[in-house]
Structure 1
């Protein structure tokens, strides 16, 4: 099981010499005219996880909503350290502009996070990639029965990672992350988290963590297991704080992400100070 101590090792602490580019730029190709809110939630969660800049490429309606919520987001293409693609898209009918942006993103040497309506893009990737399906989405992607995946999720996360050549974050009450060699389990979330938009926020958290570790991931794709497990831990812990035993909204969750990251950063700093975790 992935612990807070494990997660603390995967938080990129900003240095005095950092600027917005060295802290990581996350690009998002998410949302759609039909589901613009998914883009808003992904951007919100990413911003609160910690990156130097967010670039968004997507539907105009989503752009407008994002700028109302997060005016610091940039709405033009440019340099990024990672891409989050697919949240709030229909895999069977992606918009032409989205396809164009996705094709361009696949030509860049940066890590990828594929969610929702872009899981099928995994067959086209050439850089380190993590996908974030739930049981039904993984069943569709592998053409396998959903019931079988739900019955043995750990086995299927490992098998899918081997088949697809990527890291798989299989969402559920217990989430499993595997690259086919290493597997982590995370059970930090309350049952109240089973609500619309939860996956969009998880994608934003994961995208931010990958962007802040981009050079290391390119050098060692195995790091994606720890980063994805940490994203799931942060997501679940933020949900628990937002819930406090009752219902929550995903914006409530997002508002607690910074607090969770601060907890982990403090734990990492304390460990470094006592030389018990110098790799933080």
Structure 2
């Protein structure tokens, strides 16, 4: 099934008068590395722009310094979270004992988690609903670890088949990134067509993981009650990401940070459209 603005609007949580930052959702990040500190910045920026009530960051000093310089409202260090975003900007083959312990501790909490890049191999560690966000190459590596030999080109040619395969074998929801993003739990499938192919540039996947993390935190209770809604939340994240990319591009090149910066504006437009529908007088 395709994904529309009405589907997205259904998963936009608007703050109420009684809400505090915890009610809006706290998302934690274990992302970035000394080699790729920017991944942490991009994911954290996107989560703030997507409406997270609070963002926590746990990672190496170099990445943390960049995160706090860009977004000083971020809380550095562990603490209460409703969802985790893990792995962006890290490499499983160069995972330090310290990072391994941090990732395993996060996964043991049982809260919803977005597993990206260097955390995809940890899908069976700990407990809790999981949204995996690989591109075709990463999905090939994941499937190979599960005993399935398939070429990247074959995955790109039939993304729905191989995303379903990975979801069935892992028990997680898989968001397979691409020009045609497929989100599936092995049963339901949602498809999001990218409005611009300029999104095929470094760092945009980190932005997507941040948006997804914020959405999972905002709807953590719903995810814990029924993990099937991860398909909806993953598709919503992909749609917001695509629309933010289109705004950043305007038909030309973009950079990932610009995509993150446009997320709040996309959310604002989605909610404003809802207001104009519910209050016809506002359009007169």
TM-score of the two chains, using structure 1 as the length reference:
0.95
Say if 1:58 and 1:97, in contact at 8 Å, map to a contact too: no
Residue 277 of structure 1: aligned partner: none
Q: Does 1:265 align with 2:271?
A: yes
For residues 98 and 278 of structure 2, the distance between their equivalents in structure 1, rounded to whole angstroms, comes to 46
For residues 19 and 97 of structure 1, the distance between their equivalents in structure 2, rounded to whole angstroms, comes to 33
1:2-61 CA-to-partner distances (Å, cap 9, x unmatched) read: 111111111111111000111100000000111100000000011000011100000100
Q: Does 1:211 align with 2:217?
A: yes
For residues 126 and 71 of structure 1, the distance between their equivalents in structure 2, rounded to whole angstroms, comes to 31
Residue 155 of structure 1: aligned partner: 161
For residues 248 and 3 of structure 1, the distance between their equivalents in structure 2, rounded to whole angstroms, comes to 24
1:183-209 CA-to-partner distances (Å, cap 9, x unmatched) read: 000013311111000100000000001
Say if 2:57 and 2:77, in contact at 8 Å, map to a contact too: yes
For residues 193 and 141 of structure 2, the distance between their equivalents in structure 1, rounded to whole angstroms, comes to 24
Residue 200 of structure 1: aligned partner: 206
User: Which secondary structure state, in structure 2, belongs to the residue aligned with residue 124 of structure 1?
Assistant: coil
For residues 137 and 93 of structure 1, the distance between their equivalents in structure 2, rounded to whole angstroms, comes to 16
- The within-5 A match list for 1:83-94 is 83-94=84-95
User: Which secondary structure state, in structure 1, belongs to the residue aligned with residue 114 of structure 2?
Assistant: strand
For residues 14 and 276 of structure 2, the distance between their equivalents in structure 1, rounded to whole angstroms, comes to 12
Say if 2:108 and 2:125, in contact at 8 Å, map to a contact too: no
Residue 231 of structure 1: aligned partner: 237
| 1:272–1:27 distance in 2 versus 1, CA, 3 Å | farther
Q: RMSD in angstroms over aligned alpha carbons?
A: 1.3
Q: How far did 1:147 drift?
A: 2.0
Name stretches of at least 5 consecutive residues in structure 1 with no aligned partner. 275-280
Q: Does 1:145 align with 2:151?
A: yes
Say if 1:189 and 1:235, in contact at 8 Å, map to a contact too: no
Residue 278 of structure 1: aligned partner: none
Residue 19 of structure 1: aligned partner: 20
Q: How many residues matched?
A: 274
Q: How far did 1:80 drift?
A: 0.1
Residue 78 of structure 1: aligned partner: 79
Q: Does 1:246 align with 2:257?
A: no
Q: 2:196 aligns with which of 190, 193, 200?
A: 190
User: Which secondary structure state, in structure 2, belongs to the residue aligned with residue 78 of structure 1?
Assistant: coil
For residues 96 and 33 of structure 2, the distance between their equivalents in structure 1, rounded to whole angstroms, comes to 7
Residue 109 of structure 2: aligned partner: 108
For residues 160 and 134 of structure 1, the distance between their equivalents in structure 2, rounded to whole angstroms, comes to 12
Name stretches of at least 5 consecutive residues in structure 2 with no aligned partner. 145-149
- The within-5 A match list for 1:175-186 is 175-186=181-192
Q: Does 1:67 align with 2:71?
A: no
For residues 41 and 118 of structure 2, the distance between their equivalents in structure 1, rounded to whole angstroms, comes to 16
Q: Does 1:166 align with 2:167?
A: no
For residues 90 and 28 of structure 1, the distance between their equivalents in structure 2, rounded to whole angstroms, comes to 15
Say if 1:4 and 1:264, in contact at 8 Å, map to a contact too: yes
User: Which secondary structure state, in structure 2, belongs to the residue aligned with residue 102 of structure 1?
Assistant: helix
For residues 179 and 18 of structure 2, the distance between their equivalents in structure 1, rounded to whole angstroms, comes to 40
1:95-134 CA-to-partner distances (Å, cap 9, x unmatched) read: 3322111111112121010000110010214211000001
User: Which secondary structure state, in structure 2, belongs to the residue aligned with residue 92 of structure 1?
Assistant: helix
1:70-103 CA-to-partner distances (Å, cap 9, x unmatched) read: 0000002100000000000012111332211111
- The within-5 A match list for 1:1-80 is 1-80=2-81
Q: How far did 1:215 drift?
A: 0.6
